[in-house]
Amino acid sequence: MKRIVICADGTWNEPLHWVVEKAEALGLAFDKSFLSKYMPCFNSEIRDSMTFKYRVMGEHIREIGNYAEHGEAIHAASINRRDLPQCKYAPQNLDERLPVVDTSRIDRGQPCPALE
Protein backbone atom coordinates (compact mmCIF):
# COMPACT_ATOMS: atom_id res chain seq x y z
CA MET A 1 0.00 0.00 0.00
CA LYS A 2 1.38 3.38 -0.99
CA ARG A 3 1.69 5.95 1.78
CA ILE A 4 0.30 9.36 0.89
CA VAL A 5 2.32 12.16 2.42
CA ILE A 6 0.69 15.53 2.90
CA CYS A 7 3.40 18.17 3.23
CA ALA A 8 1.67 21.34 2.07
CA ASP A 9 0.63 22.08 5.62
CA GLY A 10 3.68 20.47 7.19
CA THR A 11 4.54 23.19 9.67
CA TRP A 12 1.07 22.83 11.16
CA ASN A 13 1.58 19.09 11.38
CA GLU A 14 4.32 19.58 14.00
CA PRO A 15 1.95 20.94 16.67
CA LEU A 16 -0.80 18.56 15.49
CA HIS A 17 1.29 15.53 16.42
CA TRP A 18 2.47 17.15 19.66
CA VAL A 19 -1.14 17.80 20.76
CA VAL A 20 -2.23 14.29 19.74
CA GLU A 21 0.67 12.80 21.71
CA LYS A 22 -0.37 14.75 24.83
CA ALA A 23 -4.01 13.69 24.36
CA GLU A 24 -3.02 10.03 23.87
CA ALA A 25 -1.11 10.19 27.16
CA LEU A 26 -4.41 11.16 28.80
CA GLY A 27 -6.19 8.15 27.31
CA LEU A 28 -7.76 9.54 24.13
CA ALA A 29 -7.57 7.33 21.05
CA PHE A 30 -6.80 8.51 17.52
CA ASP A 31 -6.76 6.87 14.10
CA LYS A 32 -3.01 6.37 13.70
CA SER A 33 -3.18 5.45 10.01
CA PHE A 34 -5.18 8.60 9.22
CA LEU A 35 -2.78 10.84 11.15
CA SER A 36 0.30 9.19 9.63
CA LYS A 37 -0.55 10.97 6.36
CA TYR A 38 0.17 14.30 8.02
CA MET A 39 3.93 14.39 7.89
CA PRO A 40 5.58 16.93 10.19
CA CYS A 41 7.69 19.21 7.98
CA PHE A 42 9.53 21.89 9.89
CA ASN A 43 10.86 23.30 6.62
CA SER A 44 7.50 23.96 4.95
CA GLU A 45 6.56 27.46 3.89
CA ILE A 46 5.47 29.86 6.60
CA ARG A 47 3.04 32.49 5.37
CA ASP A 48 3.16 35.94 6.87
CA SER A 49 -0.20 36.57 8.52
CA MET A 50 0.60 40.21 9.23
CA THR A 51 -2.24 41.84 7.33
CA PHE A 52 -2.51 45.61 6.88
CA LYS A 53 -4.70 45.92 9.97
CA TYR A 54 -2.01 44.33 12.16
CA ARG A 55 0.87 46.22 10.51
CA VAL A 56 -0.81 49.49 11.51
CA MET A 57 -0.61 48.40 15.16
CA GLY A 58 3.13 47.76 14.84
CA GLU A 59 5.30 44.71 15.30
CA HIS A 60 5.28 42.86 18.60
CA ILE A 61 7.97 40.32 19.44
CA ARG A 62 6.57 38.05 22.14
CA GLU A 63 8.93 37.61 25.04
CA ILE A 64 9.60 34.01 25.87
CA GLY A 65 11.47 32.51 28.77
CA ASN A 66 9.47 34.06 31.60
CA TYR A 67 7.35 30.99 32.33
CA ALA A 68 9.74 28.03 32.15
CA GLU A 69 8.76 27.05 35.68
CA HIS A 70 5.16 26.67 34.40
CA GLY A 71 6.13 24.39 31.51
CA GLU A 72 7.09 26.89 28.82
CA ALA A 73 9.31 25.13 26.31
CA ILE A 74 10.50 25.25 22.71
CA HIS A 75 9.51 22.50 20.29
CA ALA A 76 12.42 20.82 18.51
CA ALA A 77 10.90 21.89 15.17
CA SER A 78 11.91 25.49 15.93
CA ILE A 79 15.52 24.44 16.46
CA ASN A 80 15.46 22.21 13.34
CA ARG A 81 14.10 25.09 11.26
CA ARG A 82 16.67 27.56 12.60
CA ASP A 83 19.52 25.13 11.90
CA LEU A 84 18.54 24.51 8.25
CA PRO A 85 20.01 27.44 6.26
CA GLN A 86 17.42 27.13 3.44
CA CYS A 87 14.67 28.10 5.89
CA LYS A 88 16.28 31.49 6.68
CA TYR A 89 14.65 31.30 10.10
CA ALA A 90 16.18 33.31 12.92
CA PRO A 91 13.53 34.54 15.37
CA GLN A 92 14.82 37.17 17.78
CA ASN A 93 13.08 35.57 20.72
CA LEU A 94 14.25 31.95 20.37
CA ASP A 95 15.60 31.43 23.88
CA GLU A 96 17.74 28.31 24.06
CA ARG A 97 17.72 28.33 27.84
CA LEU A 98 14.20 26.92 27.69
CA PRO A 99 13.70 23.16 27.64
CA VAL A 100 13.28 21.65 24.18
CA VAL A 101 10.35 19.27 23.74
CA ASP A 102 9.88 16.83 20.91
CA THR A 103 7.22 14.52 19.54
CA SER A 104 7.89 10.80 19.65
CA ARG A 105 4.59 9.44 18.32
CA ILE A 106 5.75 9.89 14.70
CA ASP A 107 9.15 10.12 13.02
CA ARG A 108 10.10 13.76 12.66
CA GLY A 109 13.17 15.94 12.45
CA GLN A 110 14.02 15.37 8.79
CA PRO A 111 13.25 18.11 6.27
CA CYS A 112 10.51 17.29 3.80
CA PRO A 113 11.20 17.41 0.08
CA ALA A 114 10.75 20.84 -1.47
CA LEU A 115 7.20 21.47 -2.62
CA GLU A 116 6.74 22.05 -6.34
DSSP state of 69: G
On the question of pLDDT at 105 being above 50, the answer is: yes
What confidence tens digit (pLDDT) does each residue in 58-99 have?
Answer: 877 788 888 888 988 889 999 999 999 999 988 888 877 888
- Determine the distance from the C-alpha atom of residue 92 to the mean position of all C-alpha atoms in its chain, rounded to a whole number: 17
Q: Is 21 exposed, middle or buried (0-12, 13-18, 19+ CB in 10 A)?
A: middle
DSSP state of 75: E
